[in-house]
């Protein structure tokens, strides 16, 4: 009995000493590396499923499907269960909750105190530490999914100020549309005349800061190996035509504008510049077309936009094959349009007949060219069979949806379970600075 009591005391003492030793240790420093954050705005699991069916078939895999680590994304804000793009972008940039009106600010219109304790975004803290940085977006320079990392304004509509802060931010690689917000009124640029009312010519300012400036796909793909700072301005506004299918047909427009680079091409060039001489870097990439086409209930446009995002994910995955000290993390902040796939037999949706305009409950249907067009045809399954499907929309607004976070590379093993939107910052910070924040 006495021996058993002594054994119990010994075990308890070991547990206490071990606990004290663990608690007295300094914070464990993790390996540092690069971060590539790809944000296909407005997308959910349903949209990824539709893209898989359309482009590779139900039995095959997208690049996104091959990302090994994943978690369920919680996108609520301080005053809403559904995120806005500007609020969601701010949360990703600072790692703290904000409200729906925020654009690089907190709810008191101040620059947020980030999760790291510093009053700056993660990309600005990276720049302060000598890390190379890049922003890539298929949309205009005013878009918040990337813009909130470098711009802080009282309202999302402050287009001039967002553009000014972005160009003057010091980020090494900047690729967007939005030339209209870089030039003064009356000044003609490559794509359009400017809209600025303050007289600033931000393209000239960028040139003075040492940026190589390109305006289209051909110029981008022809840049020399010595470019270290790059500004790409690929359209007057967005690089895509975010209209309904019916309006696109009336105006003879395609989903994306001619001679604009794809998101994958921009991502590849950005990585090439930022990773020179094995420099550490952070790159934030957004496909904005997914969100805008979704809000327009343009199924064809939204699916093409997400395929472009998947191609960019493929570029990042290829880089990680030879540079495993890189975290690739991808998610959206909400879902645009509430898309769902409806698919039955060919008897129900014949390939050669227009689909019904509405579902039995009144929700609108979309086919290959919008309302009352032919159904989509899936790519073949493993038996060579193709299937008809249509897209059903629940809204033109943003909804909570079923957003997933997926990741690969350095520290991606932490991406699992249920993930708050503030944790995207946490994983990026861990990889850039080697510190796991609480």
**Is 387:53 a contact under the CB 8 Å cutoff?**
yes
pLDDT at 22: 36
**Is 397:291 a contact under the CB 8 Å cutoff?**
no
Residues 263-315 have pLDDT tens digits of: 999 999 999 999 999 999 999 999 999 999 999 999 999 999 999 999 999 99
Q: What is the pairing mode between strands 69-74 and 417-420?
A: parallel
Q: What is the pairing mode between strands 69-74 and 326-330?
A: unpaired
Phi/psi at 137 (5° precision): -150, 135
Per-chain mean pLDDT for the chain: 95
Cα separation, 247 vs 257, in Å, equals 15
Answer whether residue 20 shows pLDDT above 80. no
Nearest to 54 by CA among 368, 418, 415, 395: 368
Beta-carbon contacts of residue 302 (< 8 Å; ≥ 6 apart): 42, 47, 289, 290, 293, 294, 336, 337, 339
**Is 123:131 a contact under the CB 8 Å cutoff?**
no
pLDDT at 128: 98
The pTM assigned to this predicted structure is 0.93
Strand partners, 165: none
Answer whether residue 342 shows pLDDT above 70. yes
**Is 352:375 a contact under the CB 8 Å cutoff?**
no
Residues 235-262 have pLDDT tens digits of: 999 999 999 999 999 999 999 999 999 9
**Is 47:291 a contact under the CB 8 Å cutoff?**
no
Beta-carbon contacts of residue 54 (< 8 Å; ≥ 6 apart): 303, 307, 376, 378, 379
* Number of other CB atoms surrounding residue 413 within 10 Å: 11
Residues 381-425 have pLDDT tens digits of: 999 999 999 999 999 999 998 999 999 999 999 999 999 999 999
Rounded mean pLDDT, 329-339: 98
Residues 122-161 have pLDDT tens digits of: 999 999 999 999 999 999 999 999 999 999 999 999 999 9
Strand partners, 370: 367
Cα separation, 291 vs 280, in Å, equals 30
pLDDT at 45: 98
pLDDT at 401: 82
Cα separation, 91 vs 79, in Å, equals 13
pLDDT at 29: 75
Residue-range domains of the chain with CATH: 38-342+409-433 (3.40.720.10)
Cα separation, 42 vs 338, in Å, equals 9
Helix or strand holding residue 271 (H, E): helix 263-274
3-state secondary structure of 221: helix
Q: What is the pairing mode between strands 340-342 and 34-40?
A: unpaired
Nearest to 401 by CA among 312, 302, 308, 310: 302
């Amino acid at each position: 009995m006495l021996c058993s009591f002594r054994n119990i005391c010994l075990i308890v003492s070991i547990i206490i000493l071990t606990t004290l030793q663990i608690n007295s240790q300094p914070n464990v420093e993790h390996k540092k590396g690069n971060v590539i954050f790809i944000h296909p705005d407005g997308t959910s699991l349903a949209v990824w499923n539709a893209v898989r069916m359309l482009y590779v078939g139900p039995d095959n895999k997208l690049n996104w499907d091959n990302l090994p680590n994943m978690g369920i994304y919680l996108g609520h804000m301080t005053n809403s269960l559904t995120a806005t793009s500007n609020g969601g972008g701010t949360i990703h940039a600072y790692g703290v909750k904000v409200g729906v009106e925020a654009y690089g600010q907190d709810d008191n219109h101040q620059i947020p105190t980030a999760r790291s304790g510093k009053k700056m975004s993660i990309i600005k803290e990276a720049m302060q530490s000598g890390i190379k940085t890049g922003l890539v977006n298929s949309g205009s320079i005013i878009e918040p999914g990337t813009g909130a990392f470098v711009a802080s304004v009282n309202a999302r509509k402050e287009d001039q100020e967002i553009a000014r802060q972005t160009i003057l931010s010091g980020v090494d690689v900047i690729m967007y549309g939005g030339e209209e917000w870089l030039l003064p009124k009356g000044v003609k640029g490559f794509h359009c005349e400017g809209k600025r009312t303050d007289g600033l010519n931000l393209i000239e300012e960028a040139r003075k800061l040492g940026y190589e400036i390109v305006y289209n796909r051909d110029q981008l793909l022809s840049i020399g190996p010595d470019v270290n700072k790059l500004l790409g301005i690929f359209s007057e506004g967005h690089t895509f035509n975010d209209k309904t299918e019916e309006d696109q047909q009336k105006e003879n427009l395609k989903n994306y504008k001619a001679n604009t680079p794809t998101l994958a091409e921009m991502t590849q060039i950005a990585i090439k510049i930022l990773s020179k001489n094995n420099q550490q870097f952070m790159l934030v990439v957004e496909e904005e077309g997914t969100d805008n086409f979704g809000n327009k209930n343009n199924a064809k446009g939204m699916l093409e936009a997400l395929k472009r995002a998947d191609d960019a994910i493929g570029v990042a995955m290829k880089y990680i094959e030879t540079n495993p000290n890189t975290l690739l993390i991808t998610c959206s902040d909400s879902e645009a349009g509430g898309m769902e796939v409806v698919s039955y037999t060919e008897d129900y949706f014949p390939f050669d007949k227009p689909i019904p305009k509405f579902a039995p409950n009144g929700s609108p249907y979309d086919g290959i060219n919008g309302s009352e067009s032919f159904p989509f045809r899936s790519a073949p399954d493993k038996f060579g069979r193709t299937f008809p499907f249509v897209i059903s929309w629940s809204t033109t607004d943003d909804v909570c949806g079923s957003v997933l976070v997926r990741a690969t590379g350095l520290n991606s093993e932490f991406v699992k379970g249920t993930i708050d939107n503030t944790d995207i910052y946490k994983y990026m910070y861990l990889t850039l600075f080697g510190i796991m924040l609480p």
